[in-house]
Structure 1
């Protein structure tokens, strides 16, 4: 027996020679540029402004509160004004922008502020006497037409979470009644 480990049932892999590797289609495409299929097409795109300095846009007038990152304290020349911050989401965003962008709380607060803003928008609609069509706004009809299984799965998950929450609240109420 030449190999003492032959009874184990495996052999140690041997290193392939460069000639064997080069026989594999596509192997080493990153080693030699002439073997890369995209090389003839690859080129640096031309600069838009041809190396000349562009003029800074005129500073937009600020008539709403604009949140600015502590890492970049200056106000950008242009900023969005279509949805000015308001309500509880405004306070959450104001607090989030006191934190640096590398702090996870900054981003989580901004995500939460977006969700709170949605709820505030629904409240504003109800306050104006407009009943929002949540099924249409959540694309339930399109989901039913194109992804029935996904919609049923989402509904089952929501029902399970709601049922668990209801059960836990009932159990909590039963303990308080004793």
Structure 2
């Protein structure tokens, strides 16, 4: 299947809507590097050299399941990662994020939320294994007291001192919320059983 794409993945010059002169008139400073004498990378930027490739556009990797794709691009890159396929609620949230442009904060904030949902799901799944997550050892809290964590911060000009007070909130907060939610659920179940 050979496509003739007009996207950023093709090395050839793209068809632009406006000419250089029109862009220069509309955008101050546009095209400052058009003159090859102003670009240090110019003898290397040659499109007329033989590459040895047997294709002008690489063969496309088959999609075994639909992949997330930015709305700025016509299609997924010819080769893409498959090591972490979308799954469950976090996958649905990630798919939703790709409805927004990568230039919008909503896209990235939704992806961050999906990561948090995925992390929470991983923590919950760990409780059903032989080695559940241990927040004391896996977050590095113990090393604060045994590996000079506090003394390495006191009297130093470290940039992370401002956010040091918030670190316990972000580390312990989700565990405290999960514990509180579990307590409320168990209490309601016990009340339902009694009545």
TM-score, normalization by structure 2: 0.48
Is the 1:89–1:113 Cα contact (8 Å) retained in structure 2? yes
RMSD of aligned alpha carbons = 3.8
Q: Deviations over 1:131-157 (max 9, x none)?
A: 02334432335555253246xx44785
User: Which residue of structure 2 lines up, in the alignment, with residue 110 of structure 1?
Assistant: 111
* Offset, 1:90: 0.9
**Match of 1:126?**
127
**Any conservation in 2 of the 1:96–1:110 contact (CA below 8 Å)?**
yes
**TM-score with structure 1 setting the length:** 0.52
Q: 1:1-178 to 2 correspondence within 5 Å?
A: 44=41, 47=44, 52=49, 55=55, 56-144=57-145, 145=147, 147-148=149-150, 149=153, 153-154=164-165, 157-158=168-169
Change (3 A) 1:156 1:105: closer
> How many angstroms does 1:47 deviate by?
3.5
What do the CA deviations read for 1:21-72 (whole angstroms, capped 9, x no partner)? xxxxxxxxxxxxxxxxxxxxxx648749885355444322322441001111
Quickly say closer, same or farther: Cα 1:155–1:107, change in 2 above 3 A: closer
What stretches of structure 2 of length at least 5 have no aligned partner?
1-39, 154-160, 181-195
Distance 2:144 2:138 in 1: 11
Asked which structure has the greater RCO (Cα within 8 Å, sep 6+), the reply is: 2
Richer in helix (by share): 1
Q: Aligned partners of 1:105, 1:147: CA distance in 2, in Å?
A: 36
Counterpart position of 1:12: none
8 A Cα contact 1:65 1:85, kept in partner = no
Do the aligned residues in 2 keep the contact of 1:65 with 1:84 (CA within 8 Å)?
Answer: no
Q: CA deviation at 1:101?
A: 1.6
